[in-house]
Each structure stands twice: as C-alpha cells, then as structure tokens.
A = this chain, B = another copy of it.
C-alpha cells in the first residue's frame, strides 16, 4: 500500500511536514512529563527522548534541552524533581519531500506556558 497516496493526498508536502512534526512534539511532552530527573540523570534522559522521537515518521532530528537551572534549586530532600513542560526546550526537524520545517517548544514566561510553534519554514 502507498500510504502517502492513500491517506495524505489531501494535504500539501508543507502541511505534511507540519502535521508529522506537531504529532511528535505533542508526543514528547506527554510521554516524558513526570519522569524523575536531576542533574545526574538529565543527560541520559535528553538522549533517550531524542533517540525515541526521531523514530517517528518524517522526523529527521529531535533536540531536547532540559533547563539545568530548574534542576539546581530542588526544594525537597529527595534531590530530584519530576520533569514538566516548563523545563523543556525542544526542536523537532520534520521533512517531507522538499519541505523541511523546525517546530519548537519553549517556556514563555509571559504566558506561563510551554508554547509549541513553527520556528522555521520556507
């Protein structure tokens, strides 16, 4: 079966790249939110998030940065916290045919919200 022809002939290549990148961004947030994390474990978590999410259709690259500053002042005696969206800075590079886009998630202080948007598009 030609999946692209059968299921995706109603959208443009540019829209397809947006579609697949956005799915992956939603997936990253909701898969890993809640994971225990501190300064010792943060690197392996970032790497696993990247490696896992790069497997998804049309995803060329995923870059995950977890805010180290938010890991420095952990206010509890257990020396770790739970990953939440406000700690995340993520770029997802999505490609379909000639179209390549970058989707970004970053915490926007004015919004008090981890906003997802299209950062680069032709």
Residues of A in contact with B (beta carbons under 8 Å apart): 1, 3, 7-8, 10-11, 14-15, 18-38, 40-41, 44-45, 47-49, 51-57, 75-80, 82, 84-85, 110-113, 115-118, 121
Most chain-B CB neighbours within 10 Å: which of A24, A78, A82?
Answer: A82
> In the complex, are the beta carbons of A75 and B30 less than 8 A apart?
no
B19 A36 Cβ-Cβ under 8 A: no
Distance of A57 Cα from B113 Cα, bound (Å):
12
Which of B26, B75, B121 lies in contact with A23, CB distance below 8 A?
Answer: B26
Q: Which residues of B contact A28 (CB under 8 A)?
A: 30
Give the residue name and chain of the B residue nearest to A34 (CB): B33
Report the nearest B residue to A40, measured CB to CB. Answer: B51
Query: Is B35 touching A45 in the complex (CB atoms < 8 A)?
Result: no
User: A3–B117 Cα gap in the complex (Å)?
Assistant: 10
A10 to chain B: which residues have CB within 8 Å? 118, 121
CB nearest neighbor in B for A120: B10
Assess whether B113 is in contact with A76, with CB atoms less than 8 Å apart: yes
Tell me which of A18, A21, A26, A49 has the highest count of chain B C-beta atoms within 10 A of its own C-beta. Answer: A26
In the complex, residue of chain B having the shortest beta-carbon distance to the beta carbon of A41: B51
Please list 7 pairs of residues, one from A and one from B, whose beta carbons are closer than 8 Å in the complex, sorted by A's number.
A3-B111, A22-B22, A24-B26, A28-B30, A45-B48, A48-B49, A77-B111
